[in-house]
Structures are given as C-alpha cells and as structure tokens.
Amino acid sequence: MDSPALALDKRIRSLRPPKARVDAYVAHGSVLEEERRPGGRIEQALTVFLTGAECPFTCSFCDLWQWTLDGPTPPGALTRQLERVLEGAGDARDGAARDGVTRDRRPPDRLKLYNASNFFDQRAVPSEDMLGIAKLAAPFAAITVESHASTITPRTLEFSRQISGRLEVAMGLETIHPAAAAQLNKRLDLARFDSAARFLSGNGIDLRVFVLLGAPYVPVDETVEWTVRTVEYAIERGASVVSIIPVRGGNGELERLQRLGHFTPPTLSQLEESLDLSLKFTSAVVTADLWDVDRLPACEPCRTERVERLQRANLSGRVQSRVSCGACGAE
C-alpha cells in the first residue's frame, strides 16, 4: 500500500494532461527582458528555460512539469542547451548590426536559468553540467537559478564559487497562509524556508522569492491580503526580489479543487491590487509576473492598458495611476 504522501502525488499526476514533447539537448525557450534591481537600476536579463528532469515535489499548483523529461537529465545536456542559446543570442546581436542598428556585443547583465526543477538536485543538474554552465556564464555579472528550499546545500555554495558573477537563488515560498500552505503538497514549512534563506545570506548569495496570487485554499476574499503578507514575510527573511505569480490552471488538480470550491482563479484586478500594496516595501524589488497574463479574467476593453500599467510599475517601483474604464467602471 502506498503511503499517504505517495498516494497524493499519484493522484495529482494522474489528472495531468500529456506532457509537451521536448528534446533533452534543446532549451524550450529563452527571453531577453529588462528588470529592476534593488536601488532602482534597470538591468538586462537573459532568461533560458532549460529542459531537464522533473522536480520530485508534486505541488498541487504546478504547471512546469509539462516541459520536463521523464527521467534524469543526461550529463552534458544542459551545457549543450545553454551553448545553443548563447550562440543564437550572439548571432541575433550581429544580425541587428548588419541591419544598421548600433552593435552592442556586450552580454546581458544577468543570466537566469530556470529548469522547471531544482538546480541543486543532482538528478536535474549533473555535476558535469554545473561546471560547464559556470564556464559559459563567465561573461555575465550575475546568475539566477531556481531551487526548492530543501535542496539548498553545500552544493549551492560550491556553484557560487565556480561562477565568476554573483549568484542569486530563486525559491518558492508561495504562501504563508497556514491552512493553504499545508495543502500545497510542496513539503515545505516556514522553518525550512527560513533556514535556507539564512544559509544564502550567510554565504553572500542573493535571494529571490516567488509568491503565489490565488493559492488554493486561501479564501477568495483574503487572496490579496495573504499575498501581500507573504511578500512582506519574504522580504523580512532577506529577499531582495519578490515576484508575485498568479496561479495558472490547466494541470487537472486545480480544476478538481475549483469544482470542490477550494480554488478560484485569480484576476487581473487582484494582481494589480497586490502589486500596488506591495510596492510600499521599498527595501526590496516587488514585481508582478506577467507570463500568461492574458489568461487572467479581466475586462477586455481595458485589459491592455492595465497590463501596460503593471509593466510600468514593475520597472519604476512606483504605483501608477489607475486606468479608468467606462465598460467595467474601474477607476
């Protein structure tokens, strides 16, 4: 008989639609974007979405599993993926120059490596790739990777010494709502998160934190309140950057929870309010994650203007004037 934890993992996985077809030697995406850093500096960041082993933590809200492999990441695969992306980025800059645009061959300030898993899990990132990635990342002033708090170990410190730039680790805190946190199947308590945050701080490693908007089991009328409280908690534990991420449906489990009344998809208005209230925490950068923002329920006539408002707030760190709309009455 399966243990309760294993049975829960199996149920969540059984509801998932099929995975996307991925290639172990090809990253499934990259994006170049601007982002604000503490102190107000705007830096250019290249985010690479690496293809590798699936995370062993079967979180109820996760949709990242669909871009992962069924087995361990083959040694050397991640290094090859990153090589290809960096080669393409260089070609793009050269091509822009040939088109008459002023050439800028400098690399972006930051390299963000998101592998839909835990960077310091040997199964997801073999040791050979950590060293290979460190060499490829040499031109960048800073490197961001993602990891569950429980995988923050001496291996993290080892990687920070291998790279020439400054390391930032992104950890998911998700929510500090006690009932909701216990239902996420993330296998994370606040003591574990706090311990990992202290380890990073004590070793000169920056902390970025992901906070959910619309976490299952948070009462819908308390969604914004608990999002802002979680942002504050992360900053108090040393986070220099906090990203508010609206929960995205589509993994089967969230739809099951929605039918039971335990999950309500977050709205664009809630994202706006959460960011506005969180911008008062000026000791850190707080941003709204706008990936798939068009999926959020919103008034269509004013949606575009409101998303642009969030983009301005992300870069400026200041609350922007609210959008007025005759269709929905927003102001």
Helix (H, G, I), strand (E, B) or coil at 204: coil
- The pLDDT of residue 182 is 95
| pLDDT for the residue numbered 5 | 87
Tell me the percentage of the chain whose pLDDT exceeds 70. 94
| Model confidence pLDDT, tens digit, residues 84-128 | 999 987 655 444 443 444 445 678 999 999 999 999 999 999 999
CA-wise closest residue to 253 among 15, 62, 6:
15
On whether the CB atoms of residues 143 and 110 are closer than 8 A, the answer is yes
* Percent of the chain's residues with pLDDT above 90: 90
How deeply is 188 buried, as exposed, middle or buried, from its count of CB atoms within 10 A (0-12, 13-18, 19+)? buried
Across the strands, what pairs with 174?
211
pLDDT tens, residue by residue, 174-228: 999 999 999 999 999 999 999 999 999 999 999 999 999 999 999 999 999 999 9
Average pLDDT of the residues of the chain: 93
Q: Are 171 and 208 in contact (CB under 8 A)?
A: yes
Per-residue pLDDT band at 329 (split at 50, 70, 90): confident
Q: Are 8 and 185 in contact (CB under 8 A)?
A: yes
Alpha-carbon span 58 to 281, nearest angstrom: 31
pTM for this structure? 0.93
Bin 6: left if φ > 0, else alpha if -120 < ψ < 50, else beta: alpha
Query: What is the mean pLDDT of the segment spanning 50-56?
Result: 96
Number of Cα atoms under 13 Å in the Cβ half of residue 38: 14
Where do the domains of the chain lie, and which CATH numbers do they carry?
4-316 (3.20.20.70)
